[in-house]
A and B are shown apart, each in its own frame.
Chain A
Amino acid sequence: MSLLSVRDLTVKFAMRDQTVTALDQISFDLGKGERLGIVGESGAGKSITGFSLMNLLSRPGFIDSGSIQFEGEEIAGLPDRKMRSIRGNRMAMIFQDPMVTLNPVLTIGQQMVETLQAHRRLSRADAEQIAIMKLREVYIPSPEERLAQYPHELSGGMRQRIIIAMALLLEPQLIIADEPTTALDVTIQADIMELLLELCTSNMVGLILITHDLGVVSQMTERTLVMYAGRIIEAGKTREIINDPQHPYTQGLINALPQQTLPGHRLKQIPGNMPGLAAIPTGCAFNPRCPYAVDHCRSTRPETVSYASVEVACHEVNRLHNTVLEDESA
Chain B
Amino acid sequence: MLAYLVKRLFQAIAVMLAISLIGFAIQDNLGDPLRELVGQSVSEETRQQLRDELGLNDSFFTQYLRFLGNAVQGDLGTSYFFKEPAVDVILKKLPATLELVFGATLIIVGLSVPLGVYTAIKPNHVLAKVIMGASIVGISIPVFLTAILMIYVFSVEYQWLPSYGRGDVVHVFGYWDTNFASLDGWSHILLPSIALASIMLPLFVRLIRAEMMEVLQSEYVKYAKAKGIHPFRIYFVHALKNTLLPVITVGGVQIGTMVAYTILTETVFQWPGMGFMFLEAVNRVDTPLIVAYLIVVGFIFVVTNTIVDLIYGLVNPTVNLARMGA
A and B touch in the complex (CB under 8 A): yes
- The total of Cβ contacts below 8 Å across the A-B interface reads 75
Q: Would you list which residues of chain B between 227 and 258 have a CB under 8 Å from chain A?
A: 227-231, 233, 237-238, 241-242, 245
List the 3 closest A-B pairs by CB distance, nearest first.
A88-B227, A88-B228, A87-B228
Contact of A56 with B229 in the complex, beta carbons under 8 Å: no
Q: List 28 A-B contacts (CB under 8 A).
A: A85-B228, A86-B228, A87-B226, A87-B227, A88-B229, A93-B223, A93-B226, A95-B219, A95-B222, A97-B219, A100-B218, A100-B219, A100-B220, A101-B219, A103-B221, A103-B238, A104-B220, A105-B242, A105-B245, A105-B316, A105-B318, A106-B238, A115-B227, A115-B229, A118-B233, A119-B228, A150-B317, A150-B318
Q: Which residues of A contact B229 (CB under 8 A)?
A: 84, 88, 114-115, 118
Contact of A58 with B228 in the complex, beta carbons under 8 Å: no
Seen from chain A, the residues whose Cβ lies within 8 Å of a Cβ on chain B are 54, 56, 58, 80, 84-89, 92-93, 95, 97, 100-107, 114-115, 118-119, 150, 152, 166
Seen from chain B, the residues whose Cβ lies within 8 Å of a Cβ on chain A are 218-231, 233, 237-238, 241-242, 245, 316-318
- With contacts A103-B242, A104-B242 known, is A87 near B316, CB below 8 A? no
Contact of A118 with B227 in the complex, beta carbons under 8 Å: yes
> In the bound complex, what is the Cα–Cα distance between A85 and B237 (angstroms)?
19
Q: Which residues of A contact B226 (CB under 8 A)?
A: 54, 56, 87-88, 92-93, 95
A80's nearest neighbour on chain B, judged by CB, is B231
B229's nearest neighbour on chain A, judged by CB, is A118
B224, B226, B230 interface centre (most CB from chain A within 10 Å): B226
Q: Which residues of B contact A114 (CB under 8 A)?
A: 227, 229, 233, 237
Contact of A56 with B318 in the complex, beta carbons under 8 Å: no
> In the bound complex, what is the Cα–Cα distance between A80 and B233 (angstroms)?
15
CB distance from A249 to the nearest CB of B (A): 30
B223's nearest neighbour on chain A, judged by CB, is A101
Q: Which residues of B contact A89 (CB under 8 A)?
A: 228
> In the bound complex, what is the Cα–Cα distance between A97 and B222 (angstroms)?
12
Q: A95-B223, A115-B227 known; 9 other A-B pairs, CB under 8 Å?
A: A56-B225, A84-B228, A84-B230, A87-B228, A101-B223, A103-B223, A105-B245, A105-B318, A118-B228
> In the bound complex, what is the Cα–Cα distance between A97 and B224 (angstroms)?
14
Contact of B220 with A101 in the complex, beta carbons under 8 Å: yes
> In the bound complex, what is the Cα–Cα distance between A181 and B93 (angstroms)?
63
B233's nearest neighbour on chain A, judged by CB, is A114
> In the bound complex, what is the Cα–Cα distance between A101 and B224 (angstroms)?
9
> In the bound complex, what is the Cα–Cα distance between A166 and B223 (angstroms)?
11
Contact of B225 with A87 in the complex, beta carbons under 8 Å: yes
Question: When the two chains form the complex, which single residue of A85, A103, A107 contacts B220, counting CB atoms closer than 8 Å?
Answer: A103
Q: Which residues of B contact A97 (CB under 8 A)?
A: 219
Q: Which residues of A contact B245 (CB under 8 A)?
A: 105
A88, A95, A101, A103 interface centre (most CB from chain B within 10 Å): A103
> In the bound complex, what is the Cα–Cα distance between A58 and B224 (angstroms)?
14
B227's nearest neighbour on chain A, judged by CB, is A88
Question: When the two chains form the complex, which single residue of B218, B227, B316 contacts A166, counting CB atoms closer than 8 Å?
Answer: B227
> In the bound complex, what is the Cα–Cα distance between A115 and B225 (angstroms)?
10
> In the bound complex, what is the Cα–Cα distance between A150 and B316 (angstroms)?
10
CB distance from A174 to the nearest CB of B (A): 12
> In the bound complex, what is the Cα–Cα distance between A46 and B223 (angstroms)?
17
Contact of A102 with B228 in the complex, beta carbons under 8 Å: no
Q: Which residues of B contact A84 (CB under 8 A)?
A: 228-230
> In the bound complex, what is the Cα–Cα distance between A187 and B220 (angstroms)?
25
Question: When the two chains form the complex, which single residue of B223, B227, B317 contacts A104, counting CB atoms closer than 8 Å?
Answer: B317
A89's nearest neighbour on chain B, judged by CB, is B228
Q: Which residues of A contact B317 (CB under 8 A)?
A: 104-105, 107, 150, 152
> In the bound complex, what is the Cα–Cα distance between A209 and B316 (angstroms)?
35
Q: Which residues of A contact B221 (CB under 8 A)?
A: 103
Contact of A118 with B220 in the complex, beta carbons under 8 Å: no
Q: Which residues of A contact B218 (CB under 8 A)?
A: 100
CB distance from B248 to the nearest CB of A (A): 12
Contact of B241 with A105 in the complex, beta carbons under 8 Å: yes
CB distance from A282 to the nearest CB of B (A): 34
B245's nearest neighbour on chain A, judged by CB, is A105
A84's nearest neighbour on chain B, judged by CB, is B228
A101, A102, A166 interface centre (most CB from chain B within 10 Å): A101
CB distance from A115 to the nearest CB of B (A): 5
B242's nearest neighbour on chain A, judged by CB, is A105
Q: Which residues of A contact B219 (CB under 8 A)?
A: 95, 97, 100-101
CB distance from A205 to the nearest CB of B (A): 16
